[in-house]
Amino acid sequence: MLSYQFAKAGLSFVVIDDALPSASSRVAAGMINPVTGRRIVKTWMIDRLLPFAYDTYTEIGNELQIKAIEETPVIDFFPTKQMQTAFLERVSDIPEYLHESEGNKEYEKCFRFHYGYGIIRPVYTVNSRQLLPAWRDRLNAKGQLIESRFRPELLEFTPAGLQYESIHASKIIYCNGNVGSDYSWFRNLPFAENKGQALIIEIEGLPAGNIYAKGLKMLPLGDSHFWVGSSYEWDFTEVGPTIDFREKTMLQLNDWLKIPYKLVDHVAALRPATLERRPFVGFHPHEPRIGILNGMGTKGFSLAPFFAKQFTTHIIDGDPIDQAADIQRFKKALARQVG
């Protein structure tokens, strides 16, 4: 997203990236959901983020000649009577996103549910499986991508700015996900790694135009494939897929689905979450040549377009970054590292 905004603005840049297969952007479902939690509340800034994200992904998709985003309503099956009551009570409070069921009996052929369902709409799914490699190809074609692991020990400070191997630059911006906390300049930021796991399954006969939810979320990937997850693990000992998650999720699927499915894959990744659930955006308060765009957590597909644009206008015009995201709020903590 940042490189896209830089390209639009005509800035000179290069991206260094090693295409890590387990990066959370490649493993995540790409859902942009306007409501969250058991209390069914709007996600932070969603009224600004949702239209901006839709317009941005549509724009980049048109440029790359792919369908980068599409609307996929959530069919939210209520697991309990209490959740049914809670949802219906919130419909009048958030009518722009929450809707009562339309009485579609087609779902009864595919799912077991006893308390009905509600609809969350609009919800969008980003087609990251096409978007990421397509944009990577674009960067490669323009000579703006170095496909290698970034080595921080090779970064040098010079009177003119920065040097990394043969690259001379005025600034460097870290957009490196969950490993961002490993780099000394930002080690004092309150990162809180969060692990997610998901299954990829194949189901014939399930309508593919929706996201289905009942504890689990099931998102269409095309060709009768669905992404099923995800977990939110704050305390974990291994970063890869676990048998425990697979068995537990398949038990839930067996209880929920009336139609057969086939397990295709099992994936896992670490999200770059933060303790306060707000992004890290801006330049280091004590070293203005070093910046960061990170800490998007579970909301990366909605937050990244907005804050990449905001960061770009900050660089070009000096416009302010939203105070809740600006890393200037950690000026004291980051000063200890410089000292």
pLDDT tens digits for 130-170? 999 999 999 999 999 999 999 999 999 999 899 999 999 99
pLDDT at residue 224 greater than cutoff 60: yes
Collapsing DSSP states into helix, strand and coil, what is residue 73? coil
Of 59, 65, 76, the C-alpha closest to 123 is: 76
Q: How far apart are CA 200 and CA 263, in angstroms?
A: 6
What does DSSP say about strands 145-146 and 15-16: parallel, antiparallel, or unpaired?
A: parallel
Residues in a beta bridge with 201: 226, 263
pLDDT tens digit sequence for 73-93: 999 999 999 999 999 999 999
Instruction: Quote the pTM value.
Output: 0.93
Quick one: pLDDT at residue 279?
96
User: pLDDT tier at 29 (50, 70, 90 boundaries)?
Assistant: confident
User: pLDDT tier at 72 (50, 70, 90 boundaries)?
Assistant: very high
Quick one: pLDDT at residue 339?
45
**Answer CATH for 1-73+122-178+277-339 from 3.20.20.450, 3.30.70.20, 3.50.50.60, 3.30.70.270:** 3.50.50.60
pLDDT at residue 117 greater than cutoff 60: yes
Quick one: pLDDT at residue 263?
97
Task: Concatenate the DSSP letters of all residues of 247-300 into one string.
Answer: HHHHHHHHHHBSS--EEEEEEEEEE--BTTS--EEEEETTEEEEEEEE--GGGH
Q: Which secondary structure element, helix H or strand E, spans residue 222, and what is its range?
A: strand 216-222
Q: How far apart are CA 214 and CA 257, in angstroms?
A: 11
Q: Report the pLDDT averaged over residues 107-130.
A: 94
